[in-house]
């Protein structure tokens, strides 16, 4: 036991100073005495912080340069949006798709939605003569792929099914959009939309028939107020 004459306290430690007044402690600590609390360990270094900083700097710099060139040489078209969209999508792909520990349903759904938006941008801002391929083909087919991917995930990791249910429902709802575009005559090619619709309805029916209670409960949880 050590003793601080100034504060008149006893303390069991190998440190030399009183924690209250920082004066030197008198007395000897017991031979088998241990510190009550652990020593300091400096926090783990983040994953290559310099590399991340350099890449982020280059990304923002290139976005600024693209905007400046587009603006200086403006001919009525916002072509810089395409490479900027590509860069932003790349960042999401790395951050959310590869390095994130978030729910895989969320990652599938958000990356699909972003990819669709990027493809629509390329479709309508690009110089190609043919427009509409993104909405005609890519939108329904990507949603369908995403639907199947999340369903497969649930099938494989049945234990955590509740984590993915909501994202599956959202994508199923989205998959009904292409069929509306076909019915209103905005798109002319109908087979991808019908295929996506069919898959979505099939999965939805499967859930409603085989997991009616679970889906009800999941909705109750997510929407309680």
Partner 1 sequence: MNQKLTDWFKLDNSGKIFPEVSNQRETNTFRVQVALTEEVDSDILQMATEGILERYPMFKVRMKHGMFWNYLDYNTKPFLIQPMTHEVCSALNPRENNCYLFKVLYRNNMIAIEMFHSLADGGGVVMLLQSLVYEYLKLKGYNVTPDNIIKTKYERPVAEEYEDANEKYYNAKNRKHVPEQRAYRIKGTMLPDNLTGLISGTMDTGKVLELARSKNLTMTEYFSALAMDVIYNTQIRYRTHLKSNQAPVKIFVPVNLRKHFPSETLRNFSNFVKTNLVLDRDDITLEELFEHTHESFQNGMIKEELIRKMSENVAFEKNVLLRFMPYFIKRYALKIGYNMLGMKLNTMSMTNIGRVVFPPSMEPYIKDVTAAVAAGKYNAVNCAILSYKDQLKISFTRSILETNIEREFFRHFTEKGLDLKVESNFVEEFV
Residues that bind partner 1 (CB under 8 A): 7-13, 15, 19-22, 34-41, 43, 101, 159-160, 162, 217, 221-225
Cβ-based nearer residue to partner 1, 39 or 73: 39
Cβ-based nearer residue to partner 1, 9 or 141: 9
Distance of CA 156 to the CA centre of its chain: 21
Beta carbon of residue 102, minimum distance to partner 1 (angstroms, whole number): 10
Interatomic CA distance for residues 106 and 97, integer angstroms: 10
Cβ-based nearer residue to partner 1, 15 or 62: 15
Cβ-based nearer residue to partner 1, 72 or 224: 224
Beta carbon of residue 36, minimum distance to partner 1 (angstroms, whole number): 5
Beta carbon of residue 37, minimum distance to partner 1 (angstroms, whole number): 4
Cβ-based nearer residue to partner 1, 100 or 145: 100
| Phi, psi (rounded to 5 degrees) for 78 | -95, 65
Angle subtended at Cα 85 by Cα 163 and Cα 60, rounded to the nearest 5 degrees: 105
Interatomic CA distance for residues 72 and 62, integer angstroms: 15
Beta carbon of residue 21, minimum distance to partner 1 (angstroms, whole number): 6
Determine if residue 54 is left, alpha or beta; phi over 0 gives left, psi from -120 to 50 gives alpha, anything else beta: alpha
Q: Which two tokens stand for residue 84?
A: 């900027």
Cβ-based nearer residue to partner 1, 169 or 193: 169
Interatomic CA distance for residues 35 and 225, integer angstroms: 49
Beta carbon of residue 151, minimum distance to partner 1 (angstroms, whole number): 19
Beta carbon of residue 110, minimum distance to partner 1 (angstroms, whole number): 14
Interatomic CA distance for residues 90 and 84, integer angstroms: 10
Q: Which two tokens stand for residue 189?
A: 């090619």
Interatomic CA distance for residues 81 and 86, integer angstroms: 8
């Amino acid at each position: 036991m050590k003793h601080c004459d100034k504060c008149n306290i006893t303390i069991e430690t190998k440190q030399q100073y009183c924690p209250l007044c920082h004066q030197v402690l008198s007395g000897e600590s017991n031979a088998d005495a241990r510190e009550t609390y652990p020593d300091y360990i400096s926090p783990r270094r983040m994953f290559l912080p310099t590399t991340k900083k350099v890449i982020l700097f280059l990304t923002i710099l290139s976005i600024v340069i693209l905007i400046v060139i587009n603006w200086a040489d403006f001919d009525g078209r916002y072509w810089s949006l395409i490479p900027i969209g590509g860069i932003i999508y790349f960042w999401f792909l790395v951050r959310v798709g590869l390095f994130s520990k978030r729910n895989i349903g969320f990652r599938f759904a958000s990356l699909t939605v972003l990819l669709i938006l990027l493809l629509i941008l390329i479709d309508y801002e690009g110089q190609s003569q043919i427009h509409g391929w993104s909405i005609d083909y890519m939108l329904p087919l990507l949603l369908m792929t995403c639907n199947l991917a999340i369903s497969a995930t649930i099938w494989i990791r049945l234990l955590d099914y509740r984590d993915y249910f909501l994202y599956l429902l959202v994508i199923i709802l989205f998959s009904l959009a292409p069929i509306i575009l076909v019915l209103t005559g905005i798109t002319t090619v109908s087979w991808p939309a019908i295929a996506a619709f069919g898959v979505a309805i099939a999965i939805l029916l499967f859930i409603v028939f085989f997991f009616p209670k679970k889906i009800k409960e999941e909705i109750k949880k997510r929407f309680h107020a």
